[in-house]
Amino acid sequence: MNVRPAFLRLGVFLGVLVWLGLGICEEAVARAGGAGGSSPSENSSSRSSGSKSSGSSKSSGSSSYRSKSSGSYRSSGSSSYRSGGGGGYYGGSEPGWMMVVRWVMWGVPIGAALLLAAILIRRYWKAHKLDPVVRPRPPARVGREAFLAANPDFEPAVFVAKVRSAFMKIQKAWMAQDISHIRPFISDGMYQRFATQFRMMGLLKQRNVLDKIKVFGIHPITFRDDGAFDVIDVWIYAVMSDSFTCELDPSMNSEGNDPFVEYWSFIRKRGTVDSGFNLFAAKTCPSCGAELPQDMGELCRCSHCQVLVNSGEFDWVLAEITQEGDYGRTLLGARVPLDLPAAVAAIAPECPDFSQQLVEDKASNAFMQIMTAWATRNPASVRRFSTDEVFAGISELISSPPDIAFARIYLNEAVLLYVTRDAAQAKHRIDVGLSASMQRVELLPDGRFRPLDWEEKRSLFTLTMERDVDAVPEKGSLYQHQCATCGGRVGDTIDVTCQYCGSALNSTRNEWIVCGFRES
């Protein structure tokens, strides 16, 4: 049901209702005020002339109707009706059966109009739950007191304002399929998720228009620590109208406007002093003050002082968006062994920079690049961070038919599942579970596509990564096309030797390298 016709119909019925109501009153007034002298025929003629004039022209008709009836109704009419008029009406010479007929005559249309109005309001409300009466409530806060004690300068209202700003900007970026304006405050993993989705949407000529965005509540609920970072999970309750269109296959078009809850996770380096810098509105570098590049792309670096703007050292950074159904009730959660915290603690002395959120972010990043490589048939884009064996496997997957792409691809979860120390190879090895909702399509030679899945399907993957136990902190991020040894820029190439420093790009000396990838 469309909003406009619904409103129109509602308006018409309410109008009829008011008109009928006023008609009754007018008649009653006429009967009472005119000492029983007015006849039914006079009443009907005055009503019909009123309705005629209102029909001929909206402005003059309604004003003439109002000035006439309301004047008589309010000043003398109402008082006469209520005090003596009532007696005159009921105590008139009319027989009882006539009164019943009148009640039926007026009661039936008014009742019907009321009923129809109620049905329309109900249907409208059901179809457009824009402002539901029953709103979900955020869960109880966890860890807030300890966080506030450690961060006395933390101002919840300022933080919430940043989250709100991030929320609105991300909806806008999503609609425009343009990451540039949100790049400074999103993690590299988030960047890759958006980049992959936008790429797929571009490939299949899809657009997602969001409108009437309304945020009902933003509540920071969980304050936790993760390695060298603080993490705040924020409960967000909002609604928007959501129109998805696919030019290549209109059968995929959909509309929606159901309210939803999402959990947005923000990270910041522990001990960061709030300098008042706002990354969510930043146009300049937080370190040197130089203007930030318009479109930083996958590397969120100041071109002047080379600092990583989204490192979490300057402000909060959005690291994850989790749907309500996935938060705390994960598909992958059941796979996390109870001794995982102990295993993480065991490698900490050798691996002081280890952060669960960061390795999950790296794994998300690798996963999305693998999926992009698959859909664009370009295995070279995963070469630099894969072992030879994994690269061979992915290349084979990509070259075997059918030619697939993803009509929809959302990474629901990335969860660290396993941490171990391989003494024989002197490596730390981690498994990250990934849960993704995807709808696969087959790309046809004529540029069109054919769905392979009829709806979004949830698939689980496991990505295994390894790094030397005595790894040297990386100089650049391999997942952002930088050599981990020297920081030099690396393209999508199947040559794994850095052209600047000559070291192997997929070396486990500096960076977590993908050594296993499987659907599970």
Q: Which residues would be at the binding site for Zn ion (CB under 5 A)?
A: 285, 287-288, 290, 302, 304-305, 483, 485-486, 488, 498, 500-501
Q: Smaller CB distance to Zn ion: residue 51 or 499?
A: 499
Write the single-letter amino acid at 423.
A
Q: Can you give the C-alpha Rg of the chain in angstroms?
A: 34
Write the single-letter amino acid at 424.
A
Residue 213, classified by CB atoms within 10 Å of its CB into exposed (0-12), middle (13-18) or buried (19+), is: middle
Report DSSP state, residue 293.
Answer: P
Q: Smaller CB distance to Zn ion: residue 302 or 373?
A: 302
Taking the CA atoms of residue 255, residue 257, residue 262 and residue 267 in that order, the dihedral angle to the nearest 10 degrees is: 70
| Residue 272 C-beta: closest distance to Zn ion, Å | 17
| Residue 311 C-beta: closest distance to Zn ion, Å | 12
| Residue 505 C-beta: closest distance to Zn ion, Å | 7
What is the rounded CA–CA span in Å between residue 323 and residue 321? 7
| Residue 152 C-beta: closest distance to Zn ion, Å | 28
Q: What Cα–Cα distance (Å) separates residue 493 from each residue in 135, 282, 498?
A: 51, 33, 10
Tell me if 239 sits within 8 A of 261, measured CB to CB: no
Q: Is 89 helix (H, G, I), strand (E, B) or coil?
A: helix
| Residue 141 C-beta: closest distance to Zn ion, Å | 36
Q: Smaller CB distance to Zn ion: residue 8 or 290?
A: 290
Write the single-letter amino acid at 63.
S
What is the rounded CA–CA span in Å between residue 143 and residue 371? 36
| Residue 478 C-beta: closest distance to Zn ion, Å | 10
Q: Smaller CB distance to Zn ion: residue 127 or 501?
A: 501
| Residue 345 C-beta: closest distance to Zn ion, Å | 33
| Residue 479 C-beta: closest distance to Zn ion, Å | 15
Q: Smaller CB distance to Zn ion: residue 45 or 303?
A: 303
Q: Smaller CB distance to Zn ion: residue 304 or 335?
A: 304
Report DSSP state, residue 185.
Answer: G
| Residue 502 C-beta: closest distance to Zn ion, Å | 7
Q: Smaller CB distance to Zn ion: residue 36 or 293?
A: 293
Nearest to 430 by CA among 494, 509, 515: 515
Record the tokens describing residue 241, joined without a space: 């109208």
Tell me if 227 sits within 8 A of 279, measured CB to CB: no
In sequence order, what E strands does 298-381 have?
A: 317-323
| Residue 238 C-beta: closest distance to Zn ion, Å | 34
Nearest to 192 by CA among 437, 374, 440, 362: 362
| Residue 372 C-beta: closest distance to Zn ion, Å | 24
Other Cβ atoms closer than 10 A to 407: 23
What is the rounded CA–CA span in Å between residue 223 and residue 235? 12
Q: Smaller CB distance to Zn ion: residue 108 or 305?
A: 305
What is the rounded CA–CA span in Å between residue 80 and residue 128? 45
> CA 14: distance to chain centroid?
36
Q: Smaller CB distance to Zn ion: residue 31 or 384?
A: 384
| Residue 269 C-beta: closest distance to Zn ion, Å | 17
Q: Is the peptide bond before 402 cis (omega within 30 degrees of 0)?
A: yes
Record the tokens describing residue 490, joined without a space: 């690396």
Q: Smaller CB distance to Zn ion: residue 89 or 185?
A: 185
Residue 517, classified by CB atoms within 10 Å of its CB into exposed (0-12), middle (13-18) or buried (19+), is: buried
DSSP H or E run through 24: helix 3-33
Q: Smaller CB distance to Zn ion: residue 17 or 486?
A: 486
| Residue 451 C-beta: closest distance to Zn ion, Å | 43
Q: Smaller CB distance to Zn ion: residue 115 or 281?
A: 281
Q: Smaller CB distance to Zn ion: residue 302 or 463?
A: 302
Record the tokens describing residue 1, joined without a space: 């049901």
Q: Is 349 helix (H, G, I), strand (E, B) or coil?
A: coil
Q: What Cα–Cα distance (Å) separates residue 232 from each residue in 132, 163, 265, 415?
A: 27, 11, 6, 17
Q: Smaller CB distance to Zn ion: residue 103 or 500?
A: 500
Under 8 Å CB-to-CB from 50, ≥6 apart: which residues?
Answer: 64, 65, 68, 69
| Residue 388 C-beta: closest distance to Zn ion, Å | 19
